[in-house]
């Protein structure tokens, strides 16, 4: 990422999932989208944009962010998300960030916590990946398909690829719901893709959501967007 303001407009980025077309446009400058006003819903669509302008007293830098795609097509802040308890929730991640191997997953620059490369807490601990090629995945036992061209493919995790020096996980971001330090739901995204998953949240209360791929600022990638609500982390209210 460079330190200049960049104008990104995605007009013809159309992703077709199950016959539904989704388009999104965004401005890669200081993210000032309003807080989501959508009511508690059984569906949640999040758009991952690669370059919003992050600026404070110490950082002036392009940073990635999650935004909520509202029912009316507008984008809103992901700082505070409402979800229902005891109902099936359908999550869709529309990831415009580039894909590539991530060698480190976890909360510090030295951790390598492979559980964040798995679908966890979703129905069957699996999800579905669309519009992404050349990504290596692990298929659930009941799945069939060509893992080299996994369009609409049911997947359970993204295993380590390559050797210990140059390898990594095909995961660009995660959407992880936490209860304290415990993973409630984890949905990984390989980038430049659409990933869907379904899950239940059967406990009411306030939870934290967090991306666990170090994709922010600083030597370990955990400053800036990673630590700022509405960018790579936020709050989920379950009621």
- Closest residue by Cα to residue 217 from 94, 103, 56, 80: 56
Of 208, 157, 154, the closest CA to residue 179 belongs to 208
Neighbours of 85 (CB within 10 A): 14
Residue 130, beta-bridge partner list: 194
Distance (Å, rounded) from C-alpha 125 to C-alpha 106? 20
d(CA 25, CA 74): 9
**3 state SS of 162:** coil
pLDDT the model gives residue 167: 86
157, 220 contact by CB (below 8 A): no
pTM above 0.85, yes or no: no
Over residues 162-180, mean pLDDT = 90
List, for residues 52-97, the tens digit of each pLDDT value: 766 666 666 678 899 999 999 999 999 999 999 999 999 999 999 8
Residue 146 — pLDDT band, cuts 50, 70, 90? very low
Q: What's the CA dihedral at 157, 162, 163, 164 to 10 degrees?
A: -40
Find all residues with CB under 8 Å of 21, minimum gap 6, and list them.
Answer: 14, 15
Task: Find the mean pLDDT for residues 129-133.
Answer: 76
């Amino acid at each position: 990422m460079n330190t200049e303001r960049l104008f990104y407009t995605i007009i013809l980025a159309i992703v077709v999932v199950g016959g539904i077309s989704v388009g999104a446009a965004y401005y890669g400058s200081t993210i000032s989208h309003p807080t989501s006003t959508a009511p508690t819903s059984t569906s949640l669509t999040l758009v991952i944009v690669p370059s919003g302008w992050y600026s404070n007293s110490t950082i002036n830098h392009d940073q990635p962010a999650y935004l909520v795609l509202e029912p009316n097509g507008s984008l809103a802040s992901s700082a505070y998300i409402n979800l229902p308890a005891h109902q099936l929730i359908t999550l869709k991640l529309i990831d415009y960030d580039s894909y590539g191997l991530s060698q480190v997953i976890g909360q510090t620059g030295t951790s390598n916590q492979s559980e964040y490369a798995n679908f966890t807490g979703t129905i069957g601990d699996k999800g579905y990946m669309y519009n992404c090629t050349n990504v290596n995945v692990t298929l659930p036992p009941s799945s069939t398909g060509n893992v080299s061209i996994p369009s609409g493919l049911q997947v359970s995790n993204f295993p380590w690829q390559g050797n210990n020096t140059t390898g990594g996980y095909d995961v660009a971001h995660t959407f992880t719901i936490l209860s304290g330090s415990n993973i409630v739901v984890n949905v990984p995204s390989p980038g430049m893709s659409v990933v869907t998953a379904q899950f239940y949240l059967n406990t009411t209360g306030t939870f934290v959501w967090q991306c666990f791929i170090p994709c922010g600022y600083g030597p370990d990638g955990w400053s800036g967007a990673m630590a700022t609500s509405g960018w790579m982390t936020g709050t989920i209210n379950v009621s």
